Amino acid sequence: MNDFIYLSDLFGTIVFAISGALAAGRLRMDPFGVLVLAGVTAVGGGTVRDAVLGATPVFWITDTTYVWLICLTAAAMMLLVRCPRKLSGRWFQVADAFGLAVFTVIGAQKALSYGAEPVIAVMMGTMTGVLGGLIRDVLCREVPLVLRTEIYATACIVGGIVYTGCLSLELAQIPAMVLAMIATLTLRLVAIFYHLSLPAFALDSDNKR
């Protein structure tokens, strides 16, 4: 993998691990809980992607850098952070958007390298980006936020389409990755700063009317 992409991936791993650790802190979990939430948020999506693709052992077993980064991040959070508000401001959302973008293109690329069709690559990119956060929310007993609000997964889908589209137009891999990352990042940042959401699909529950 290209160095820039690899370093971006590690950066995204740290950001996602922080978001998991913050969720654990809100529920007053013990150190193991913090570690688990940091871990599933950071590598949960990629793990399921690799398991369904048959890319086993999954990526963090082959390259233990991810596991060490998650442990260090969780430890640093517990030792250093007392006031989570500093970490949940705008700049953290921007970092999260960057992580989302890089996870998306890496996931899509991995699917393609296993011979999957473009529609599957888009799906796998989206899964890599959002599934970790979704499992985090399930463990915290919340209806996953990503299923309900904001343009989050949509940014991944668009990024995946841009990536597979660029490749089918015979663009080289790295420029296609960078373009797709820019697309995901831009869409996500616009959604954050203008509070954009897609309209909800709201059905009355069956009991009413």
Binders of its own copies among residues 38 to 67 (CB under 8 A) are: 47, 50-54, 56-58, 60-61, 64, 67
Task: Write out the binding residues for its own copies, residues 154-183 only, by CB under 8 A.
Answer: 154, 157
Least distance from its own copies to the Cβ atom of residue 162, Å: 17
Task: Write out the binding residues for its own copies, residues 106-145 only, by CB under 8 A.
Answer: 111, 114-117, 119-120, 123, 134, 138-144
Least distance from its own copies to the Cβ atom of residue 7, Å: 21
The CA-atom distances, in angstroms, between 18 and each of 44, 57, 84 are 14, 25, 10
When binding is defined by CB under 8 A, the residue of 7, 90, 91, 148 that contacts its own copies is: 148
In terms of Cβ atoms closer than 10 Å to its own Cβ (0-12, 13-18, 19+), residue 105 is buried
Give the DSSP H/E element, type plus range, for residue 163.
helix 153-168
For its own copies, give the closer residue by CB, 174 or 198: 198
Compute the distance between CA of residue 139 and CA of residue 69 in angstroms, rounded to an integer: 21
191 CB-near residues (< 8 Å, 6+ apart): 150, 151, 152, 155, 197
Q: Token pair of 130, please? A: 């959002």
For its own copies, give the closer residue by CB, 178 or 185: 185
Task: Write out the binding residues for its own copies, residues 178-207 only, by CB under 8 A.
Answer: 197-206
Least distance from its own copies to the Cβ atom of residue 174, Å: 25
